[in-house]
Amino acid sequence: MKFLVNESPLAHGFVTFRDLGFGENLQGDAIPYRIELDFDELSNSFQQKANDFIEQCRLDDLSLAEADIPKLRDLGYPPFQELLKDEPEFSLELVQDYLYFELLNYLFTARPVDAKFVINEIGSIQVQDGEIIINGSGFAKK
């Protein structure tokens, strides 16, 4: 995994994310970041959390007789690993819309006191050449 702040590398051990107020406008200049991550760098623990989410969607849809995420229903609620392989754009939409905290918790374990950079929001998630590219903004920890 590569983590870049203003195109400069930063060790992911110095990165954290905003729990409260995630995605809210910053009072000051936002600093762009980019994460470059290979598919195989998504751990089994993150994928299990994604699978748990998919299963909960299936159960909720059954109980409500209506799909919250119709495309997930139409695909038959497949395991996340299959989604990532067969429907990479859709799988990353799920991450951006529903599983972003699970992903950030998996990728960044720095305690806030040790952090040099704080992720404030995820602007986009894309697939390019077999990599997951995440762009967003944050701020330097003072």
Q: What is the pLDDT of residues 2-16, one digit of tens each?
A: 999 999 999 988 999
Interval 37-56: pLDDT, tens: 988 888 788 999 999 999 99
Rounded-to-10 torsion of CA 100, 121, 61, 65: 180
Has this prediction a pTM greater than 0.95?
no
For residues 72 and 91, what is the distance between their CA atoms, to the nearest angstrom? 9
Tell me the domain boundaries of the chain: 2-140
For residues 85 and 136, what is the distance between their CA atoms, to the nearest angstrom? 24
pLDDT category of residue 130 using cuts at 50, 70 and 90: confident
pLDDT of residue 68: 92
Interval 79-112: pLDDT, tens: 999 998 899 999 999 999 999 999 999 998 777 7
Are 108 and 17 within 8 A, CB to CB? yes
Number of H helices, E strands in the chain: 5, 6
Helices (H), the chain: 44-64, 70-74, 80-86, 88-97, 100-107
